[in-house]
């Protein structure tokens, strides 16, 4: 039995990946379209290096620029999967006794503020922020809640939707406040 060499396939995949990458010129064009003029250079650098967007933007400009960049770099569908406004859902990772240094919380916030990272990659980074990340399912429930809520001021009902035990260390007894 002979196998076809898969080098041509690998070359094709490599060309697709390289052509899909945002170049410096492209990132400046996207930044000029999505960010205020005096912040375009900073935004372009953020896009190229896949960093969290800051650039001393106001909160409203940060949200608008982030969504615009994400849509320009990753397509319209990417905003349906995950967007910067989902940062509200990162709070499900706070007060996790299995993650006392809050790696998952900081990872979640960092990737959601990085508009040039693809949506699937963002979800993967949040899901794999630590081994056996049970709280990831709660994060996804929060996202679903955000998209269906009628009142934008209504808070995610964590205790009604998520399992509080997922935040607790296995084998430890929790009976009340810590004693001095």
pLDDT in tens, the chain (180 residues): 444 444 443 433 333 343 344 555 699 999 999 999 999 999 999 999 999 999 999 999 999 999 999 999 999 999 999 999 999 999 999 999 989 999 999 999 999 999 999 999 999 999 999 998 999 999 999 999 999 999 989 999 999 999 988 888 887 776 777 766
In the numeric block, the tokens 């509200």 are attached to 88
Residue 174 placed within a domain: no
CA–CA distance, 123 with 129 (Å, rounded to integer): 10
Q: How many independent structural domains does the chain possess? A: 2
Whichever domain contains 131, its CATH number is 1.10.150.370
Same domain, 131 and 56: no
Q: What is the DSSP letter of 4?
A: -
Q: Which domain holds residue 149?
A: 83-167
Would you say how long the chain is, in residues? 180
Residue 176 placed within a domain: no
Same domain, 72 and 108: no
Indicate the pTM of the whole model: 0.80
119-150 per-position pLDDT tens digit: 999 999 999 999 989 999 999 999 999 999 99
Question: Three-state secondary structure along 49-80?
Answer: HCCCCCCCCCHHHHHHHHHHHHHHHHCCCHHH
Same domain, 89 and 147: yes
């Amino acid at each position: 039995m002979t196998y076809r060499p898969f080098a041509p396939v690998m070359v094709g995949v490599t060309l697709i990946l390289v052509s899909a990458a945002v170049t410096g010129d492209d990132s400046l064009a996207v930044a000029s379209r999505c960010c205020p003029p005096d912040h375009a250079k900073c935004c372009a650098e953020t896009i190229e290096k896949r960093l969290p967007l800051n650039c001393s933007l106001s909160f409203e400009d940060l949200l608008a620029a982030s969504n615009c960049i994400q849509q320009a770099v990753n397509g319209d569908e990417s905003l349906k999967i995950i967007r910067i406004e989902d940062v509200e859902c990162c709070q499900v990772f706070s007060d996790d006794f299995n993650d006392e240094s809050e790696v998952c919380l900081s990872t979640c916030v960092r990737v959601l503020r990085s508009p040039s990272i693809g949506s699937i990659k963002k979800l993967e980074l949040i899901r794999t922020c630590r081994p056996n990340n049970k709280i990831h399912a709660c994060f996804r429930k929060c996202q679903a809640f955000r998209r269906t809520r009628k009142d934008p001021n209504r808070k995610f009902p964590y205790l009604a939707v998520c399992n509080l035990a997922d935040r607790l260390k296995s084998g430890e007894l929790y009976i009340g406040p810590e004693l001095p």
